[in-house]
Amino acid sequence: MSREDLAEFLFPNITKTIEDYEKLYPVRNLDENAKVTRYAPSPTGFMHIGNFLAATIDYVIAKNSGGIFYLRNEDTDTSREVDGAVEYIRHILKHYQMEPDEYEYRDIHETKGAYGPYIQSERKEIYQTFIKHLVREGKAYPCFLTQEEMDVIREGQAKDKRRIGIYGRYAKYRDLPVEEAIERIKKGEAYTIRLKSSGDFNRKFKFNDLAFGEMELPENDLDIPIMKSKDGLPTYHFAHLVDDYLMHTTHVVRGQEWVSSIPIHYELFKTFGFPMPKYIHIPLILKKDGDSVRKISKRLDPEARMSYYEEKGYPAYALIEAIMTIANSNYEAWREGHPTSSFTEFPFSPKKMSASGALFDLDKLDNLSKNYISRLTKEEVYKGALDWSQKYDPEFHEILSKYKEYSMAIYNIEREQKKPRKDYTYYSEIKEKTWYMYDEYFLGSKVDFLEYDLEEVKKILKNYQNIYNENDTQEEWFTKIKEMSEALGYAANVKAYKENPEPYKGSIVDVTNIIRIALTTLTITPDLYSIMKILGKEKVLARLNNQIAK
Ligand code: GLU
C-alpha cells in the first residue's frame, strides 16, 4: 500500500486539488502597493485592548494603501467558543468605524467578498485538501499518541531538561507503515494528523519581521499537529497557512506571543512553496502600576477589556487616537499637523512601533477625550449622551429624550468659545455633572447650606427672589447682586473684604454661594447666570421658594 492509498483512505470525500482552490481564489486585482490585512479573532467572548490595537493597525494599513481589510472568524477551537462573541466583534468594528470590506456574519445571513467562507469551521474541506496533499507526499501522517502518552513524554522531557514536543524519537508514528495506520484507524483508534517536519533545530534561518526587524531563529523540527482528532478541523498554524495564502493576505498583524511560532509557519509555507506574507508582530500593551510598568491584565485591569470604554462612554475618536499614539511614536506629531484628517491617512510605519511594549496611559486617553468632547457642537454632545444612555442608563435616556433643547442648552454653556469648558471626560460623566438641572433628580436631593446660618440663608434667598428678573442681562443681574449684598451687610468687593473683613458678615462670594446651593445643591458649577437662564423663571422661583419654606 502506498501513501496515495493512505491519503485516499483518510480523505475519501476530498476530490478537489490545491490547484482547484488556487483557481477559485485568484490573485486579487489591486494596485501594486495595496495591502491586504485581516483581523482574525477567535470568538472567545470578549475583546482585549491588544486585539483592538491589532485590528486598528490592520485597518490603517489597508485603508492607507487602498487595499482590503477583511474579517476572519477563527473558530476552530470549538470548545472555547462563546455565544454572541462574533456579534460583539461586529459591533466593536462598527462602533469604531472600522468595518471590514469582506466578512461573513452567519447570524444575520450577511456575507461579502469573493474569498470566503470567512469562518474557519466552514472551510474544513479546503484545509483537508491541503492536508491530503501532504499525506500523499509523505509530509504528514496520522499519529496515535494518546493524551496520557503525551503527558508522559512531556514530563520526561521536563525532567531531563530537554525541549518539549513531539520530535525525533518522540515522533513514534512518523514512519508507521501505511497498512498498520489504516488498520488502527479501521479499529476506531483516535488519531491526529501531524506534519512530518524536515527541519533541523540546530540550523538557523533569517526572518524579517517588519516591526521587530531581522531575527535569526532555529528551524522547526516539531511534528506539530495540523489536524485535530476531535473534529477534523486544523490547528491555528495550519489554518493560518491555508487562509492567508488563499485569501492573499499581504500583511499579518498579530500579537508578539506568536513570534515563537514563526519557525513552524516558516516551515509550513516552505513545504508548500507558498510565499510568506509580511509579518508585523505587535508589542504587549503595558501600563504604569505605581512606580513600575507591567503588562496590562484582563484579570486586574478593567481597561484591558474593550467593553470598559463603551461603558464609560469614551467617544470612539478618543480611543482610536489613544491607540494610534501607542501604535506609532510619531502619531502625535502627525496629528498636530493634520488636525482634521482621518487616522486612516496616517502613514503607519511598523518600524516606529515600540518593540519593548506599548505603554497605554488612561490619563492620556482622558485628556484626549475631554478635549475632543469640548470641541464638539452641543448637538453632537447631546447625541453622544443619548446613545450612551440608551444602553447604560435608560432612566437618564428617557429624561434626555424628553428635554432635548434644554439639555443642549446645558451642554452649550461656555462651549462656543475659543477655550471651551472641559466638563465631560466621557459620556457617563454628563449625568454626574448636570443632574441638578433636571427636576426629576433635583427634587429628591438634599440641599445642604454648609456652615451658613440658616436665618441668614433665608434672608438672602428672600431678597434675591425679589430682585430676580429673568430678563436681566448678565451685567444687570450682577449689579443687582452687588447692591443686594451690600444692603445685607456683605462686601461687594472681594478684594476689599479680604483686606478688611471686620465690618462685614461676609462677601458677595457667600451670597452667590448660597444662591448657587439653593438652585443646584453645589458650590461649584458652570456660570450661574447661564444656569438660571436655562432653568428659567419657573424653576428658579420654585427652587428658591422651596428653600425659603424649609
Ligand atoms: N486567532 C488568533 C488570535 O486570536 C489570530 C492570530 C493572528 O492574527 O494570526 O490570537
For residue 244, which atom of ligand 1 is closest to its CA? Answer: 9
CATH T-level fold of 3-12+124-282:
Rossmann fold (3.40.50)
Share of the chain above pLDDT 70, in %: 100
Q: Which residue of 88, 236, 256, 257 sits with most ligand 1 atoms within 8 Å of its CB, as the best mutation to test the pocket?
A: 236
pLDDT tier at 410, thresholds 50, 70, 90: very high
pLDDT band at 20 (very low <50, low <70, confident <90, very high): very high
Pairing outcome for strands 213-218 and 204-209 = antiparallel
- What is the mean predicted confidence (pLDDT) over 161-171? 96
Output the residue whose Cα is nearest ligand 1's atom 3. Answer: 41
Q: Give 432-459 as a 3 state SS string.
A: HHHHHHCHHHHCCCCCCCCCCCHHHHHH
Q: Which atom of ligand 1 is nearest to the CA of 258?
A: 6
**DSSP letters along 120-159, please?**
GGG-HHHHHHHHHHHHHTTSEEEE---HHHHHHHHHHHHH
Ligand 1 centroid to residue 41 C-alpha, Å: 6
Q: Which residue has the cell 441638578?
A: 436
Give pTM, 2 decimals.
Answer: 0.92
Q: Where, residue-wise, is CATH 3.40.50.620 in the chain?
A: 3-12+124-282
Tell me whether strands 68-71 and 36-39 are parallel, antiparallel or unpaired: parallel
Per-residue model confidence as pLDDT tens digits over 472-482: 999 999 999 99
Name residues contacting ligand 1 (CB within 6 A): 40-42, 74, 240, 252, 254
- How far does residue 269's CA lie from ligand 1's centre (Å)? 17
**Pocket-testing residue among 254, 268, 276, ligand 1, by greatest number of atoms within 8 A of Cβ:** 254
Read off the pLDDT of residues 411-442 as tens digits, 9 standing for 90 and up: 999 999 999 999 999 999 999 999 999 999 99
> Which pLDDT value is given to residue 79?
80
| In the predicted structure, residue 45 carries a pLDDT above the cut 80 | no
C-alpha cell, 78: 470549538
121 C-beta neighbours (distance < 10 Å), count: 16
Secondary structure class of 78 (helix, strand, coil): helix
Mean pLDDT for the chain overall: 96
State in Å: Cα 370 to ligand 1 middle.
33
Over range 46-52, report the average pLDDT: 93
Correct CATH for 454-549 of 1.10.10.350, 1.10.1240.10, 1.20.140.10, 3.40.109.10? 1.10.10.350
Tell me if 210 sits within 8 A of 351, measured CB to CB.
Answer: yes
The CATH 1.10.10.350 domain(s) of the chain lie at 454-549
Q: What is the pLDDT of residue 213?
A: 94
Please state, in angstroms and as integers, the Cα–Cα distance from residue 75 to each residue in 11, 81, 239, 241, following that order: 22, 7, 10, 15
Task: State the pLDDT confidence band at 61, using cuts at 50, 70 and 90.
Answer: very high
Mutate to test the pocket of ligand 1, among 46, 56, 74, 261 (most ligand atoms within 8 A of CB): 74
Contact 511, 484 (CB under 8 A): yes
Name the grid cell of 185.
484507524
- Residue 39's DSSP bridge partners are 71
Please say whether the beta carbons of 344 and 98 come within 8 A: no
pLDDT of 355 reads 79
Distance 40 CA to ligand 1 centre (A): 5
| pLDDT for res 356 | 82
pLDDT category of residue 5 using cuts at 50, 70 and 90: very high
pLDDT for 1 beyond 90 = no
State the distance from the centre of ligand 1 to the C-alpha of 48, rounded, in angstroms: 12
- Who's near 419: CB < 8 A, 6+ residues apart? none
Please say if the pLDDT value at position 283 is more than 80. yes
Q: Predicted confidence band at 179 (pLDDT cuts at 50, 70, 90)? A: very high
Residue with CA closest to ligand 1 atom 5: 40
83: pLDDT strictly greater than 90: no
